[in-house]
């Protein structure tokens, strides 16, 4: 029904998208184009840590941080810089499904970190039973560049110890908790008994849907075919300032992206990567 501007916290302007049905809304910051919440029929689908740090230059724990142009550690800051830059609002649509575009371009600060000129567009669309987001990368440089990209989505669960993630059977994955060994998923559903940090290569290939407790369905575009599954478990949560021991049972990260190898984007070309999250019941 509407797209409303408000201040989420001091210095953090935000948008609230409300679907015409009145029972489905999204809140997002201009900082990082960061979706903080998706509420549908009174249920909060996304997890946001009560210890999240809202400070310029810091990543926010929870919701959907945007990982670009680097996944994980490397020459750039952890998970790149898109999640700690302020984006600007583009076009909005308030008839039918509600949508908004946010934009980010290279600037002096990004060029010091990463010597490439680019334009990013984040499209966020709210439907009656689903939430869609799409990242468009346009190469405005005079040479090609490479990047990785990921939607680092935190999902609320009743209890991580009883949570099941399905749709990844027989998929090869990198087990980052076990020294980066390559393994194959042999279980119909992933269950959680300790720290879990896995990159399922092509786990979302051909837009294969991933299910959380047969309640939520996550579908990545064909360009976002890798799936990361992560929960830090008790000890790591305890020693991470913006998580806390009390929070590890409350969420699971199921993240679609293109991270196993980089995307190579030629001059004046565009690339799109998207995910759709649907509430099944």
Catalytic site positions: 152, 255
Residue 139, sorted as left (phi over 0), alpha (psi -120 to 50) or beta, turns out to be beta
Q: Which of 132, 168, 170, 175 is nearest to 275 (CA)?
A: 132
Q: How far apart are CA 108 and CA 164, in angstroms?
A: 44
The pair phi, psi for residue 54, each rounded to 5°, is -105, 95
Token digits of residue 52: 């999240």
The pair phi, psi for residue 113, each rounded to 5°, is -90, -40
Owner of token pair 């998923």:
185
- What is the rounded radius of gyration, in angstroms, for the C-alpha atoms of the chain? 18
Q: How far apart are CA 131 and CA 101, in angstroms?
A: 14
Token digits of residue 237: 């949560």
């Amino acid at each position: 029904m509407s797209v409303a501007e408000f201040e989420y916290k001091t210095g953090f302007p935000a948008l609230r998208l409300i679907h015409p049905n009145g029972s489905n809304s999204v809140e997002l910051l201009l900082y990082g184009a960061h979706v903080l919440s998706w509420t549908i029929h009174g249920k909060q689908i996304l997890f946001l840590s009560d210890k999240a740090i809202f400070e310029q230059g810091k990543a926010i724990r929870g919701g959907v941080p945007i990982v670009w142009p680097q996944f994980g550690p490397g020459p750039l800051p952890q998970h790149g810089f898109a999640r700690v830059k302020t984006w600007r609002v583009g076009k909005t649509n308030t008839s039918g499904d509600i949508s908004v575009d946010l934009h980010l371009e290279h600037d002096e600060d990004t060029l010091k970190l990463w010597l490439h000129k680019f334009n990013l567009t984040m499209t966020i669309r709210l439907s009656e039973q689903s939430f869609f987001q799409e990242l468009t990368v346009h190469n405005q440089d005079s040479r090609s560049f490479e990047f990785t990209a990921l939607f680092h989505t935190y999902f609320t669960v009743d209890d991580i110890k009883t949570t099941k993630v399905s749709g990844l059977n027989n998929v090869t994955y990198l087990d980052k908790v076990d020294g980066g060994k390559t393994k194959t998923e042999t279980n119909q559903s992933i269950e959680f008994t300790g720290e879990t940090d896995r990159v399922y290569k092509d786990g979302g290939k051909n837009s294969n849907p991933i299910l959380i407790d047969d309640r939520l369905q996550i579908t990545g575009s064909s360009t976002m075919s890798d799936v990361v599954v992560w929960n830090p478990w008790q000890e790591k949560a305890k020693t991470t300032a913006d998580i806390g021991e009390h929070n590890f049972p409350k969420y699971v990260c199921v993240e679609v992206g293109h991270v196993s190898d980089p995307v190579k984007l030629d001059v004046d070309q565009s690339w799109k990567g998207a995910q759709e999250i649907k509430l099944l019941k």
